[in-house]
Amino acid sequence: MINRLIFSFLFSVIFSFFASASSEAPNASSSDDTAAQAKPSSHSEANTRVTSHDVHSKTFDPVGLIMHHIADANEFHVLGHTSMPLPVIIYNRDKKNWFTTMSSAFHAHHGEGTVDVHGYKMEQSRIHPLDGSQIIDFSITKNVFGMLLGLILLLIVFFLVSRAYSNRENEVPKGFQSLMEPLIQFVAHDIAKENIGKNYLKFVPFLVCIFFFILMNNLLGLIPIFPGSANISGNISFTFALGFLAFIMINVFAKKDYWGHIFVMPGVPKALLLILTPIEVMGIFIKPIALMLRLFGNITGGHIAILSIASMVFILGNVGKSIGGSIGGGVIAIPLLIFVNAMELFVAFLQAYVFTLLTSIFIGIAQEEHAHADHH
């Protein structure tokens, strides 16, 4: 069973990685025109611009800070001005060529590159072509790095549990094995068996992998420093990949009664089928979309709540100008942060459970076999 878990888990991660590849078409802009527009017409205008820029640069922007932290990036911020460079792998659809480098080549400062590399630039921590050409981004971004880290950690966990079962066969579990066994049994019996029924065993590897993969990424996202803090489960591409996998498991292995109740519901007048059948067909796609949006919204909302509360310290302190305001903001924010982080720890488990539970319920509906009475 452990081997099946690992195989299903690897498949989920690989699919999530390719779902994260995004096609971008930024608006083409001329660097010469931009430079010309930015050039002040007089010395006084230049002084005015510099002064306003200095004032603006010292203004704390909580919205920009929050969006920067929850968004994906081509580099991983570690501490202060230190960032870990990540591989940049881009396929240019217009030029039919590949562009590969490390994000450090752009000499980025807070997500804004100071150097253009072979027609590409970094803006808001993402790589864009200067000529606005269509690209497909296969880069190892911050979220992909966090996802791969979660994969490595879970593979270590599964191998340790597998080796423990091999070395201590038919013995009472202890140590790390005793921690993992109740969780696996919970997913296998209390979720899969209760909602799917007699055919539950073939879906257990998928459900166990989904549960632990979401849980691990949620927990990594709660760590405020490197290598945590990545908003993996709050990335719509990641949740889309999980929802699509659930869609496949629900519909590919569905029984014929499931499809019969969608297209030709027994006992329903034919006139009503014209209304009910389109609704049932829409339900096929609404189920995975609901799974996707629920996970995305809850995790993203939690990250925004934590960052918003932390921003109170800087807002009330006016970015260092008011010590009293900073102290007051800290007095208000710190207890709230402790409470919200505790809630987010609960939500990390809850959302993994809810996604797995609803997936098993949808699979169970598709696996149900109905005994119809003959109508005379």
Nearest to 20 by CA among 83, 73, 66: 73
pLDDT at 282: 92
pLDDT at 267 over 50: yes
pLDDT at 111 over 50: yes
Instruction: Express each pLDDT in 275-326 by its tens digit.
Output: 888 898 999 999 999 999 999 999 998 888 888 887 777 777 665 566 766 6
pLDDT at 319: 55
Q: What is the 3-state secondary structure (H, E, C) of the chain?
A: CHHHHHHHHHHHHHHHHHHCCEEECCCCCCHHHHHHHHCCCCHHHHHHHHHHHHHHHCCCCHHHHHHHHHCCCCEEEEECCEEEECEEEEEECCCCEEEEEEHHHHCCECCECCCCECCEEEECCEEEECCCCCEEECCCCHHHHHHHHHHHHHHHHHHHHHHHHHHCCCCCCCCHHHHHHHHHHHHHHHHHHHHHCCCHHHHHHHHHHHHHHHHHHHHHHHCCCCCCCCCCCCCHHHHHHHHHHHHHHHHHCCCHHHHHHHHCCCCCCHHHHHHHHHHHHHHHHHHHHHHHHHHHHHHHHHHHHHHHHHHHHHHHCCCCCCHHHHHHHHHHHHHHHHHHHHHHHHHHHHHHHHHHHHHHHHHHHHHCCCCCCCCC
Distance between CA atoms of residues 338 and 32, nearest Å: 50
pLDDT at 1: 52
Nearest to 136 by CA among 87, 96, 86: 96
Best-predicted range by mean pLDDT (53-67, 140-154, 260-274)? 140-154
pLDDT at 174: 79
**Confidence band (pLDDT; 50, 70, 90) for 67?**
confident
Look over the chain and give the mean of its residue pLDDT values, rounded to a whole number: 79
Q: What is the mean pLDDT of residues 270-274?
A: 83
Distance between CA atoms of residues 89 and 76, nearest Å: 16
Distance between CA atoms of residues 348 and 299, nearest Å: 8
pLDDT at 322: 64
Beta bridge partners of 137: 22, 90
Which residue in this structure is represented by tokens 């030029």?
95
pLDDT at 242: 94
* Domain residue spans of the chain: 22-140, 143-367
pLDDT: which is higher, 290 or 12 = 290
Instruction: Express each pLDDT in 190-243 by its tens digit.
Output: 999 999 988 899 999 999 999 999 999 999 988 888 888 888 998 999 999 999
Q: What is the mean pLDDT of residues 55-70?
A: 70
Instruction: Express each pLDDT in 352-374 by its tens digit.
Output: 999 999 999 999 999 887 665 44
